[in-house]
Amino acid sequence: MDAELISSGIKVVTSDHPEWEERRQRWNLFSEADDDESSADVRIIVVPKNQDEIIQIVNWARKYNQTDIGVRSGGHGFFSSASVVIDMREGFNYVKMIDDNGNSKVAVVGMGNTLKEVDEVTTPYQIPLGVVSHTGCGLLLTGGVGYLCKEHGATADNILEVTIVTSDGQVHTCSKDVEPDLFFAVRGSAPNLGVVTEVKLRCYHKPDGAFCALRAWPNTYENFKRLIDWADQPAVLNDPTITPYVAMIPTPDLSAHLCAIHIVCVGDKSNDEKYRELIGQLEGAEGGTPLLEASRVPFSTPQTMFDASQGRQYWYVSQNCFKGDLLLDDEGLKKAVEAFNKIQLNPTQPMVIYEQRGSKTTSKYHAFPSDSCAQPRYDQRWECYVFFGTTDKDHAETMREQGRTMKAVIQQYASEGGRCHLTKDEPGSRLELFYGPNTTKLRDIIAKYDPHRLFAKCNGMEF
């Protein structure tokens, strides 16, 4: 079976290949099967150089009923416990710019890039992307939120066209006007539909970079609540060019618990006085430490600032959604601060990040209905992400339990829904937690385009 693929001329990497160790790695060392290593189940890695080779690979997989395929699209490699991995990083690491008009362009992005590699080509134009630059372009197809989402919507909202090879070996180029059901599903559930080769996205002219600040205080309820209240004032909440991230983090040496705010303002230089005045409201708060002084910086600064804290290790990652354009519950914030401060740091590296999506009336994130793509949204003003990590294998299960405990505290005051990555502790259907009211429609579309179920278990989701 494997010999047929090896003899086809397609680059194949197996355990005796010098590239095996690097190519089988992924960001999270936990696997869906709870194996000790993330890549324990990987049997063979194929490295296509063009679309024709992807068709060959898919036809081979269908012939031999290989129903545990994973795709690595440039970065973290969320290929779960797949035994066959398609590594897109050699043949599909291109980015091309297409002229559109003075304020926006279209980027044609191959699915073998990291977000950093995309940024390097598109600048001074920016795509609404995630905020960790070594993430792969697979993130483009799973929602994608970042510094531009209040002004221009999520990444999925700015996708114009997707090219995908489905399990029958056919190539589909879908858009809102061509195969709209597939276009709906691929923006949120692409790994379970086939192998995406490229996407076309809208990007926006941002020649002035961003106005940013990052500041931290001891993690007390009073300090944390002050940061949330600052972000919820109308001048920030209703300004689509200002995105605040309020977080609980450890000090770099893992000796103390902090709360922090990262503020990214994407308007042009004419707004700097307004931004500086707003951020100045925080600068007099006692005990504050500036980690990045309020200043105009290249867009690459916020896009890469947190890369080091998101390195390859054992991770527990979850998301809680606070449905509706509502204030966060004071009691919930107090309990979250108390729970975070009880965590024994080192070797656990915990982060709890509250991300603001803006007001329902002014943020473009809310301009797109929940059923416009597979990944739903709930008019949420706030979402909360729990990132707990450790490099210590012997501590990994303890760290994961700490993460689950933190999520449970937050979940008491959040809504059902939201994602939980690479965990098995969630009640009910993981599909319904992830896709909410879009689950039934999505099941039907995936059954239509993947009747052979080659991709049914990709990305930790089983349809």
pLDDT tens per residue across span 99-134? 776 677 999 999 999 999 999 999 999 999 888 888
> Could you tell me if 150 and 290 lie in one domain?
no
Q: For the chain, what is the domain count?
A: 3
- The span from the CA of 189 to the CA of 218, in Å, is 40
Q: What is the domain-level CATH number for residue 102?
A: 3.30.465.10
pLDDT at residue 337, rounded to an integer:
98
Is residue 319, in this structure, part of any structural domain at all? no
pLDDT at residue 353, rounded to an integer:
96
Is residue 311, in this structure, part of any structural domain at all? no
> Could you tell me if 187 and 248 lie in one domain?
no
Final residue belonging to a domain, choices 206, 237, 272:
206
DSSP helix/strand/coil, 236: helix
> Could you tell me if 237 and 383 lie in one domain?
yes
> Could you tell me if 228 and 330 lie in one domain?
yes
pLDDT at residue 428, rounded to an integer:
52
pLDDT at residue 10, rounded to an integer:
96
- Domain of 105, in residue numbers: 95-206
> Could you tell me if 8 and 78 lie in one domain?
yes
> Could you tell me if 245 and 349 lie in one domain?
yes
pLDDT at residue 32, rounded to an integer:
40
Is residue 290, in this structure, part of any structural domain at all? yes
> Could you tell me if 220 and 334 lie in one domain?
yes
Is residue 463, in this structure, part of any structural domain at all? no
pLDDT at residue 325, rounded to an integer:
85
Q: What is the domain-level CATH number for residue 283?
A: 3.40.462.20
> Could you tell me if 352 and 224 lie in one domain?
yes
DSSP helix/strand/coil, 399: helix
For the residues 167-194, what does the mean pLDDT come to?
A: 95
- The span from the CA of 244 to the CA of 246, in Å, is 6
Final residue belonging to a domain, choices 154, 187, 206:
206
pLDDT at residue 80, rounded to an integer:
58
Is residue 371, in this structure, part of any structural domain at all? no
Average per-residue pLDDT for the chain = 89
Token pair for residue 46? 């194929």
> Could you tell me if 347 and 408 lie in one domain?
yes
Beta carbons of 40 and 31 less than 8 angstroms apart: yes
Give the tens place of pLDDT for each residue, 361-400.
Answer: 999 999 888 788 998 888 889 999 999 999 999 999 999 9
Is residue 448, in this structure, part of any structural domain at all? no
DSSP helix/strand/coil, 375: coil
Residue 71 has pLDDT above 50, yes or no: yes
Is residue 368, in this structure, part of any structural domain at all? no
Is residue 233, in this structure, part of any structural domain at all? yes
Q: Which residue has the tokens 């960001």?
A: 27
pLDDT at residue 39, rounded to an integer:
45
Final residue belonging to a domain, choices 87, 106, 132:
87
Q: Which residue has the higher pLDDT, 342 or 306?
A: 342
The length of the chain is 463
Give the tens place of pLDDT for each residue, 397-423.
Answer: 999 999 999 999 998 988 755 454 444
> Could you tell me if 160 and 136 lie in one domain?
yes
